[in-house]
Structure 1
Amino acid sequence: MSSASTFRQLHDNTSPLLLPNAWDAGSARLIESLGAPAIATTSAGFAWALGYPDGRMLPFDEVVASVRRIVRVLNVPLSVDIEHGYSDDPRTVADNVMRLVDLGIAGINIEDGSDPASLLASKIEATRRLAANSGSDLFINARSDVFLANLAEKSKQPEESIARGNLYASAGADGLFLPALAQPSDIEAIVGATRLPLNVMAVPGLADAATLGKLGVRRLSAGSGLSQVVLGKAKAIAQDFLENGGSAAFSDHPLPYSEIQNLFV
């Protein structure tokens, strides 16, 4: 069974697939060691770790290099967030994706953002076609920012998300990701009107995974949340060290050196 097939099956359970998104090889390997059945990346965390702002600014060669490092240390399926595919040209996007498929990834997230839905559909079609022609399996998770970026009036956001989800499904997508979707009634309406497994993102006020599973959610992602918390803690500790020169903070539940080393043996 291919890595993509294994990853696809993880969306068939009644309990959502939990993905605390990684931002580099070290965080990916750590998450895997905790029992994660798959790893997904966060494009924001990726960009920050490589010295770029989030928002389609990361050079694709940097993405490829980072993915290569992650694949080297993982045994579970890997899905990579590629933002908008790093191009507005569908064929270029498909070529970019195949560079990652050749490294061994199982899936991608690809977003519409402020772009027309038809453009993302064309990118998905081109990617699906090129992958099929090369004999490669790939889980394509179509991310739509209808809720996150308020791409429609609030009352019309579920309807717009359903329309986009069905368009992306027809283009060849395997999953629908709707960041900032949180209301149970909206979740139920979308699950009932689309045929793709629904992926939501952890946000304050969102129901827990068990409740989301009963609503029909099949994937729950942390997004950039984990990397933001880690950076927040690093900021506080570094600031205290710079201002006070104390060492006490470094004994506050650090991961032992030997345990970190063993992650990569």
Structure 2
Amino acid sequence: MTQIQPQHAHLLRALHERGLILPCAWDAVSARALQQAGSPAIGTSSAAVAFALGFPDGQVAPRDTLLAALERTLNAVTVPVTADLEGGYADTPQGVADTVRAALSLGAAGLNLEDASGQPDRPLLPADEQVDRLRAARAAADALGVPACLNARTDTYLSGYGDTDADRLDETVRRGRAYLRAGADSVFVPGLTDPPTLRTLRDRLGGPLAVMYAPGGPDAHILLRAGASRVSTGPSLFLAALGHAATLSAQFRERGTLDTPGALPFGTVQGWFSRSPA
């Protein structure tokens, strides 16, 4: 069974300092596959987890259902896992703290908390509200004695905030600085993949910056060299696996055969869950 893992939190921090390429899982078996492929740490993608459970993205799935899925994921691996907790599945800082406490008690080493509001007329929470939520999250982690990597996500780029690129950058800097002061270890800006803008933002933030890889965009190594401390996949691996399964299904229906190069042997996957993770 999983348990509080402060040593995993320390390891996750060290990996960020070197520059972390972070694949994101959506369930126990995908997490184990990523570990077996050599990943020193794994993230979860909230969108991919929700889809795998039959829910849309955006804090729709019940909190307890998501935490149960996280527990199964944590039980499947021995490397650090950082959990995408969306907005904390709560309306108040105390509720966010409760979610953070639950995730860390299950064994998570890090977590994402985002400032997306889920409301089309106001896509971002007010920055001061998000600051209160981040402070509560950090206090909850400190009370457990877990130096969890708190990745404060801002959706300024995904939401298309502002009228100009300069407006968007300025607001990202304003929010990012406030989130770092509130106890975040890094600022996560999905939707930002332009290396020059990334460099500028990193310099103006004065703190670690995480981004999400976009298929067809600059590769992860370029993004790390531009100043990111972490590049994650988000739901891309899940969507690719889903697309591949759909393609194979269509081929099977039409041709009656399955071309599955790279497929893992049944016995290998069976073995992962027939003994302790290794």
Under TM normalisation by the shorter chain, which class is it? over 0.9
Q: Cα deviation per residue 1:33-86 (whole Å; 9 max; x = unaligned)?
A: 111110100001100111111111011101111111111121111100011111
Matching of residue 193 in structure 1 with residue 196 in structure 2: no
Is 193-202 or 221-230 further displaced after alignment? 193-202
Work out the CA distance in 2 between the residues paired with 1:247 and 1:26. Answer: 27
- Could you say if the C-alpha distance between residues 88 and 262 of structure 1 is closer, same or farther in structure 2, counting changes exceeding 3 Å? same
Work out the CA distance in 2 between the residues paired with 1:104 and 1:50. Answer: 21
What aligned pairs does 1:155-174 form with structure 2 within 5 A after superposition? Answer: 155=165, 156-174=167-185
Q: CA deviation at 1:250?
A: 4.8
Q: CA deviation at 1:260?
A: 1.8
Work out the CA distance in 2 between the residues paired with 1:64 and 1:73. Answer: 14
Matching of residue 2 in structure 1 with residue 12 in structure 2: no
Q: Cα deviation per residue 1:95-148 (whole Å; 9 max; x = unaligned)?
A: 111011111110101100122222221111011112222323211100111111
| CA root-mean-square deviation | 1.6
Matching of residue 258 in structure 1 with residue 267 in structure 2: yes
Alignment partner of 2:57 out of 47, 54, 59: 54
Give the counterpart letter for 2:231 in structure 1: L
Work out the CA distance in 2 between the residues paired with 1:134 and 1:213. Answer: 31
**1:26 equivalent in structure 2:** 29
Q: Gapped runs of 5+ residues in structure 2?
A: 1-5, 117-122
Give the counterpart letter for 1:152 in structure 2: G
Q: Gapped runs of 5+ residues in structure 1?
A: none
Give the counterpart letter for 2:197 in structure 1: D
Secondary structure of 2:258's counterpart equals helix
**1:67 equivalent in structure 2:** 70
Q: CA deviation at 1:205?
A: 4.5
Q: Is this contact kept in 1: 2:193–2:223, CA < 8 A?
A: no
Work out the CA distance in 1 between the residues paired with 2:38 and 2:168. Answer: 35
Q: Cα deviation per residue 1:162-195 (whole Å; 9 max; x = unaligned)?
A: 1111010011001111111011221011110113
Q: Is this contact kept in 2: 1:19–1:220, CA < 8 A?
A: yes
What aligned pairs does 1:56-135 form with structure 2 within 5 A after superposition? Answer: 56-113=59-116, 114=123, 115-135=125-145
Q: Cα deviation per residue 1:187-241 (whole Å; 9 max; x = unaligned)?
A: 0111101133211111144322332222111101110001001111112222343
Q: CA deviation at 1:252?
A: 4.2
Give the counterpart letter for 1:46 in structure 2: V
TM-score normalised by length of structure 1: 0.93
- Could you say if the C-alpha distance between residues 154 and 102 of structure 1 is closer, same or farther in structure 2, counting changes exceeding 3 Å? same
Give the counterpart letter for 1:224 in structure 2: P
Work out the CA distance in 2 between the residues paired with 1:108 and 1:123. Answer: 13
Work out the CA distance in 2 between the residues paired with 1:192 and 1:163. Answer: 13
Secondary structure of 2:210's counterpart equals strand
Q: CA deviation at 1:261?
A: 2.1
Work out the CA distance in 1 between the residues paired with 2:241 and 2:164. Answer: 32
Work out the CA distance in 1 between the residues paired with 2:171 and 2:181. Answer: 16
**1:147 equivalent in structure 2:** 157
Work out the CA distance in 2 between the residues paired with 1:196 and 1:116. Answer: 21
Work out the CA distance in 2 between the residues paired with 1:226 and 1:153. Answer: 32
